[in-house]
């Protein structure tokens, strides 16, 4: 029974992450910059954006404020995120590794909340 719950929780996390990524990509699809965003930084930013999305799911204003704070905190622009996504969409194997890192970090955050 616990295994079923664990699998269900992982599935929900993965679907949530994919949904958030799709929304971010669609909403903030601006011209790309030549800046390069590392995998590690993308994972951290994405994890923080995912957490913020859950925390502020009822307030789009607060969510947008938090999104801006997160981007500023990590010194990342939406264009850099979009460029990263565009480049990784060309390489599914690399994307799979990034998603594994994202899921792992989200699980760590869930297990050890601040």
Cα–Cα distance measured from residue 43 to residue 61, given in angstroms and rounded to the nearest whole number:
24
102 Cβ contact list (under 8 Å, min separation 6): 17, 43, 46, 47, 50
Instruction: Pick the more confident residue, 66 or 20.
Output: 66
Interval 2-40: pLDDT, tens: 766 767 677 677 776 656 666 667 666 654 444 589 999
pLDDT at position 17, please?
Answer: 60
Nearest to 96 by CA among 87, 105, 88: 88
pTM of the prediction? 0.67
Interval 81-113: pLDDT, tens: 999 999 999 999 999 999 999 999 999 988 887
Three-class SS state of 34:
coil
């Amino acid at each position: 029974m616990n295994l079923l719950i664990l699998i269900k929780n992982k599935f929900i996390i993965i679907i949530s992450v994919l949904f958030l990524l799709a929304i971010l990509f669609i909403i903030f699809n601006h011209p790309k910059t030549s800046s390069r965003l590392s995998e590690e930084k993308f994972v951290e930013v994405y994890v923080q954006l995912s957490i913020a999305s859950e925390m502020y799911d009822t307030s789009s204003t607060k969510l947008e404020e938090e999104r801006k704070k997160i981007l500023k905190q990590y010194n990342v622009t939406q264009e850099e995120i979009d460029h990263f996504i565009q480049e990784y969409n060309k390489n599914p194997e690399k994307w799979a590794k990034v998603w594994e890192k994202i899921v792992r970090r989200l699980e760590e955050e869930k297990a050890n909340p601040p």
